[in-house]
Amino acid sequence: MSALQNILIFAGAAFVVIACGLFWRSERWQRARARFQGDRVGIISLLIVVFYGLVGLMDSVQLSAHGKEMSMIEYMFRNTPNERGYSAPYADTTYAVNRPEPLKGRHWFGTDVLGRDVLVQTLRACRTALIIGGLTSFIYIPLGTIFGIAAGYYKRWVDDVIQYVYSTLACVPGILLLIAIIMVLENVNIPLWNGDTIQIPRLVQMSLALGITSWVGLCRLIRGDTLRQVERPYVEAARALGQSNWNIITRHILPNVMHLVLINFVLGFSGLVMSEAILSYIGIGAPVGTASWGTMIDSARMELAREPAVWWNFTAAAGALFFLVLSLNLLGDSLRRAFDPRASGK
């Protein structure tokens, strides 16, 4: 299943590149690109997000070394052995054992209770965030886009049914709905060709649960813009020329709402990363043994009460989560200003 997750990650990355490339040459996207290139904050935020993405992809690439399979991140830090317990950043020795051992500065971010390097765990958690954000985005973005365009274009009973569905979902508290969906998916087994069954991996369960509950906001946004687009003269001209509804939607409506999808994808990704951390913090997120910022923060609760306090595990996880979410939000704001200069008051 790890190989399947890696395939989905690379397929998702390729899909994003191809989807953006299809609209890259349009006039609206070229004007937005020119504005974005002059936005220094947006460029820096994009570089930080790309760095996180590359780290996550590096941990997904498996290498054969020393007779065992390991990711690129593990291979890069293969000469950083585990210790017997805690060691603070830049510490000379461990202090969680009776006889401290010299470390010689091997652990920049210190080690956790199991003696694992905190820097390695923090970097490996990027893959978990990438899986949750990527898989969930490719569930809720198609749903929100298709339902939003259908509601805004066809109106009448189609609009009424879609509004009823997302209004019902919006009335249920999000965290309770997530927990309920995950508990149901835990009891679902997938039959295999040889007659055996496998359980849905926990990360996939979280992605499905988040995808089912995250498309409502995008659907409302796309519906509102589609209602505005169908009143434009170019849609009336396309209908007068006898174009089918499919051609009007795919050639005219979809390209004009695609920038909203991109902005929602960037901003929604940060929310998904936060949701994964929250679910892992309350114990229903990433499975045991999977590097996750939420799990690291959860395990750091009692560490902060120690004497002396073990603060570096919490700081590393919270810092990595903070910079990723901040960069995604700043990038989303920059994209909004690039596609709509009126948003910046210019």
Q: What is the pLDDT along the chain (346 residues), one digit of tens a residue?
A: 455 555 666 666 666 666 666 666 666 677 777 788 888 888 999 899 889 888 888 887 777 766 677 778 877 887 777 777 788 787 777 766 656 566 666 778 888 888 888 888 899 888 888 888 888 888 888 888 899 998 888 888 888 898 888 888 888 777 788 888 888 887 777 777 766 777 777 788 888 888 888 888 888 889 888 888 888 888 888 888 877 888 888 888 887 888 888 888 888 888 888 888 888 777 777 777 778 888 888 888 778 877 777 888 888 988 999 999 999 889 888 888 887 755 544 4
Q: Has residue 101 been placed in a domain?
A: no
The helix (run of H) or strand (run of E) holding residue 70 is strand 68-71
* CA 131-133-137 angle, 5° bins: 115
Residue 109 resides in a domain = no
Taking the C-alpha atoms of residue 251 and residue 227, their distance in angstroms, rounded to an integer, is: 16
Nearest to 147 by CA among 284, 139, 241, 70: 139
Q: Is residue 97 part of a domain?
A: no
Q: Answer yes or no: is 96 within a domain.
A: no
Residue 256 corresponds to which tokens in the numbers above? Answer: 């004009």
124 sits in which H/E element: helix 118-154
Is residue 254 included in any domain, yes or no? Answer: yes
CA nearest to 70, candidates 56, 80, 59: 59
Q: Tell the residue number behind the tokens 């997000």, with chain if given.
A: 49
Question: What's the CA gap between 113 and 299, in Å, rounded?
Answer: 9
Number of domains making up the chain: 1
pTM: 0.81
Task: Provide the residue range defining the domain that includes 243.
Answer: 2-80+117-344
Nearest to 254 by CA among 178, 148, 164: 148
**Residue 153 resides in a domain:** yes
Name beta bridge partners: 63: 70
Question: Does residue 261 sit within a domain?
Answer: yes
CATH number at residue 220: 1.10.3720.10
